[in-house]
Amino acid sequence: MVRNTMHLLDDRIEEMDVKYKKVLGNLAANLAATTLKVNARYFHRIGAGGKGTLRLYADIPEFPTHKLFYPGKSYQITLRHSNCLSSDDDARLDPRGAAIRILSDESDATTPVLDLTLKTGKAFHARSIGEFATWLVCGSAAREEHVKHFPHIREAMWDSLRQADSYTELHYYSNITRIFRFEDGQEMYVKFKLRPFDKKFPEDSGKVEPRGILPPETGAIPRDENDKRPLLFLEKDFQRRVNSPDRVRYILQLQMRSVPGDESARETALDCTKPWDDQEFPYIDIGEIVINQVLTKEESEALEFNPFLRCHEVDVIRAKSCSQSASMDHGRSIVYSICQHLRNKKPLPESWKIFLDQSDVKLDLSGCPMAGVLKEKTVKKVTLARPWYHVEEGGFIGSRTVAMPGVTVENEASLAALSLAMKGEIIR
């Protein structure tokens, strides 16, 4: 076969095996269809943003010399807090997010060098993209049966939900492992954490006690009937705190461990459904974040965060198979890229068009640089406070009808997007 040299390749896709491409292609196409429908973020749609600085501590004990996280360095940063699902009521029980963009310390301080996406809860509910896709298409009965055998999955899902009084009082975790490359050539596995500067807010701030086997599938548990706070109070609270004399302050932390030499041990270390033991791998305080400027609603909504915005010194761990633990981070970086291009009406690279065209979800990618769904529909109102999807009996792919208020997509074209709503971290 002769490769068309006019197509710029994406090496993230090229290194996948056939099954991985198929699984991820369907996920990406499902979310692409929904992104075009709603013309907005599907997850983490509303929130609050701010600007500030990350100042790394001058003395970080037992921390090898690192080009980016060098003791004493300071960076300009952008931070955005958000709700995973709820766009109509901040009092709903929901996973909460914190996305951080670190900007270059060179003369052009607007150039991003690293994006970190974090959420409440120490773990994610699926180890790999393959397990994630299986979870999406099975019903609630199958999920409940699954967590009976793997109770840590149930714990991860409930632990992600938070009853929030303020975004600034919660702890946020990366769940996903990255690889750190130090200047002495040493490589380490690393996870990030963001905690409030004030230690009076413990890790379990806002924690929700389980009320059943699994949370409701949309995660949109209604507020307590005695809760009289305004519907969207978290943004106002964040703005008030940023503009106060004390500003908003956090501590950036790391967990580190050596890269195992054995493949099985590496898979265990990269398993995002199981937190690392913080006694064996303690959190290291590496710097302080101060947010001193509020972003307008428009500025906050325009922010983009992409896990594949990384650098050699803080890199994404690659995967070749959808069953590998690393496929969760590696795969979601492609989903982020495609959906953000569509949401911002940027032309899709040819390699991404081909990738989407090979999926089971048919999108019209001809004659339009952004791509469009074959069957146009007008969406008058989209809300995330909605019942779960209804699925007709049929085959695994291409024979289901998914319904939600204002949107109906024939075949599989919103199934993953609607299912993903309960997960929160796959796309932002």
Q: What is the CATH number of the domain that holds 154?
A: 2.40.180.10
Q: At what angle do helices 151-160 and 140-149 cross, to 10 degrees?
A: 110
Q: Give the integer Cα–Cα distance in Å for 182 and 317.
A: 16
In a domain, 357, yes or no: no
**Phi first, then psi: what are they for 285, rounded to 5°?**
-75, 120
- Provide the token pair at 293: 């400027």
- Residue 405 is assigned to a structural domain of this protein: no
Low-confidence ranges of the chain (pLDDT < 50): 1-7, 366-428
Question: What sign has the CA pseudo-torsion 19, 23, 26, 31?
Answer: negative
CA proximity to 286, closest of 105, 80, 63, 100: 63
User: For residue 192, which of 79, 314, 319, 359 has the smallest C-alpha distance?
Assistant: 314
In a domain, 428, yes or no: no
Whether residue 241 lies inside any domain: the answer is yes
Assigned domain for 303 exists: yes
Beta bridge partners, 294, equal: 50
d(CA 323, CA 281): 26
Please name the amino acid found at residue 133.
A
Alpha carbon distance 150, 155 (integer Å):
9
Closest to 70 measured CA to CA, from 183, 163, 166, 205? 183
Longest distance between any two alpha carbons in the chain, whole Å: 67
CA distance 36 to 377: 10
Is 272 in contact with 124 (CB distance < 8 Å)?
yes
Distance CA 50, CA 239 (A): 8
The answer as to whether 202 is a domain residue is yes
Continuous segment of H or E residues that includes residue 352: helix 350-357
pLDDT for the residue numbered 108? 62
CA distance 6 to 259: 38
**How far, in Å, CA of 272 to CA of 131, rounded?**
12
Element (H, E) at 372: strand 372-373
Domain residues for 209? Answer: 44-345
Which residues, in sequence order, are CB contacts of 152 under 8 Å at separation 6+?
123, 273, 274
Tokens standing for residue 333: 């970086």
* Beta partners for residue 117, in sequence order: 99
400 in helix, strand or coil? coil
| Residue 106: exposure state from Cβ atoms within 10 A (0-12, 13-18, ≥19) | exposed
- What spatial distance separates the first Cα and last Cα of the chain, rounded to whole Å? 37
Would 25 be classed as within a structural domain? no
Please give the Cα distance from 256 to 338 (Å, whole number): 31
H-helix or E-strand containing 253?
strand 248-258
Q: Is residue 181 part of a domain?
A: yes
Task: Indicate the number of domains in the chain.
Answer: 1
| Half-sphere exposure at residue 145, Cβ-oriented, CA atoms within 13 angstroms | 5
Instruction: Give the integer Cα–Cα distance in Å for 315 and 190.
Output: 10
pLDDT tens per residue, range 289-308:
999 999 988 887 777 777 78
Q: What is the pLDDT of residue 422?
A: 36
Q: What is the pLDDT of residue 109?
A: 67
Which residues fall within 8 angstroms of residue 183, CB to CB, at 6 or more apart? 64, 65, 66, 67
